[in-house]
C-alpha cells in the first residue's frame, strides 16, 4: 500500500480573471474549488495512474468534510483524523496571466491528534511506501518528519520526502528512498543558484552522500535530473507544451516516478514517467490522467520510450 501524509491540506479556490486590479472589484471569469495539499495531490495522481493509496492527515470543519468527500469520490482512501476545532484552510489561487496565491492558515492540531496519526502509521508494513509532503503547521514542532521516520526504522518501508530546507535535511540520516527538491530549493539548501543540470547533479550528489537513496530534481523549463541509488544519473530536457497551471506539477512528478518504480522497477523508466506526469499536469487545468501522461511521454521520448 502507498500512504500519503499531508499536515497542511486545503481546499484550493482557483479563480481566473482578465487582470487583477488592486483596490477594485474584480469579476471572476471561471472558478474551481478542489482539494489540495502536496500529499493529497500525490494521492489523486497515483489513483489517476491506476495505483490505490491511502491519504492521511488532519481535517476540520465543513472544509475538512469536503476535502474527505472529494478524495473518496475520486477513488482514494481517506483516513484523516477529524479535529473538533477550527477548519481546514482555504487557499486562493488567482490566475490572470500570472499566478498569485493567498494561502490560508490551518487549524491548531492538538497532541492527541498527532498521537492518533502515529497510531495509524503503526499500520505501515514492510514493502509499503510512505510519502511525506509539504509544510508543517506552525502549531506543530518542526521535527515531525523526523519523528515519523524514526518510528519506521526497522521496517522495510520506502519513505518519500518532498519538503523544503530543514524539514528535508534533517531526515537524510534516516535514508529516505526518494527526495524531490526543485532547483530553487536545492540552491537554497547550499546557498547558491542552480542554473544548469551539471550544477544540479553536483549538489544532488551531495544530498545522496548525506543519506538520500534517490534524488529527483525538477528544473522547470530546463527539465529534470535523477541521481539513483545505483550511481546512475538520468537527465532530460523539459517536454514541450504550454504551461497552464503549475500547481501540483511537482507532486505529479513524485506520483509518476513512484508509478514507474512499481510498474517497471527501472529508474530510467520511472524518471521519464515522473517527468511526463509533472509536465502533463502543468499543461492542463487539473492534475494529469494516465492518457495525458502517456501522450507527453511519447511526444518527448518517442521510439526511445518503446525500446526502454
Q: Which residues are catalytic?
A: 251
The rounded radius of gyration (Å) of the Cα atoms in the chain is: 19
Which helix (H) or strand (E) segment holds residue 52: the answer is none
Are 37 and 44 within 8 A, CB to CB?
A: no
| Angstrom distance (rounded) from CA 207 to CA 82 | 36
| Angstrom distance (rounded) from CA 305 to CA 308 | 5
| Angstrom distance (rounded) from CA 45 to CA 302 | 23
> Residues 6 or more apart from 240 whose CB is under 8 A from it?
299, 300
| Angstrom distance (rounded) from CA 297 to CA 304 | 10
Alpha helices by DSSP H, listed for the chain, are: 38-48, 61-73, 111-121, 144-151, 165-169, 183-189, 197-209, 249-264, 267-282, 290-301, 303-307
Are 95 and 72 within 8 A, CB to CB?
A: no
> Residues 6 or more apart from 19 whose CB is under 8 A from it?
96, 97
Alpha-carbon torsion, ordered 181, 252, 146, 159, to 10 deg: -110
Q: Residue 233 half-sphere exposure, CB side, CA atoms within 13 Å?
A: 10
Amino acid at each position: 500500500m502507498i500512504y500519503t501524509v499531508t499536515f497542511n491540506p486545503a481546499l484550493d479556490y482557483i479563480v481566473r480573471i482578465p487582470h487583477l486590479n488592486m483596490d477594485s472589484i474584480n469579476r471572476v471569469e471561471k472558478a474551481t474549488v478542489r482539494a489540495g495539499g502536496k500529499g493529497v495531490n500525490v494521492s489523486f495522481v497515483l489513483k489517476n495512474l491506476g495505483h490505490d493509496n491511502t491519504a492521511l492527515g488532519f481535517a476540520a470543519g465543513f472544509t475538512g468534510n469536503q476535502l474527505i468527500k472529494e478524495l473518496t469520490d475520486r477513488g482514494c482512501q481517506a483516513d484523516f483524523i477529524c479535529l473538533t476545532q477550527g477548519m481546514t484552510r482555504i487557499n486562493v489561487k488567482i490566475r490572470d496571466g500570472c499566478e498569485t496565491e493567498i494561502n490560508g492558515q490551518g487549524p491548531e492540531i492538538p497532541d492527541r491528534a498527532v498521537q492518533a496519526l502515529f497510531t495509524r502509521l503503526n499500520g505501515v508494513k514492510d514493502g509499503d511506501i510512505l510519502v511525506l509532503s509539504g509544510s508543517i503547521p506552525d502549531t506543530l514542532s518542526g521535527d515531525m518528519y523526523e519523528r515519523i521516520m524514526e518510528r519506521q526504522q526497522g521496517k522495510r518501508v520506502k519513505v518519500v520526502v518532498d519538503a523544503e530546507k530543514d524539514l528535508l535535511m534533517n531526515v537524510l540520516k534516516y535514508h529516505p528512498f526518494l527526495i524531490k527538491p526543485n532547483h530553487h530549493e536545492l540552491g537554497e539548501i547550499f546557498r547558491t543558484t542552480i542554473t544548469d543540470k551539471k550544477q544540479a547533479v553536483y549538489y544532488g550528489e551531495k544530498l545522496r552522500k548525506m543519506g538520500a537513496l534517490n534524488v529527483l530534481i525538477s528544473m522547470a523549463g530546463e527539465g529534470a535530473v535523477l541521481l539513483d541509488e545505483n550511481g546512475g544519473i538520468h537527465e532530460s530536457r523539459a517536454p514541450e507544451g504550454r504551461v497552464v497551471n503549475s500547481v501540483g506539477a511537482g507532486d505529479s512528478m513524485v506520483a509518476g516516478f513512484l508509478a514507474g518504480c512499481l510498474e517497471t522497477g527501472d529508474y530510467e523508466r520511472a524518471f521519464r514517467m515522473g517527468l511526463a506526469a509533472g509536465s502533463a499536469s502543468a499543461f492542463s487545468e487539473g492534475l494529469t490522467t494516465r492518457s495525458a501522461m502517456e501522450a507527453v511521454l511519447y511526444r518527448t521520448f518517442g521510439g526511445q520510450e518503446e525500446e526502454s
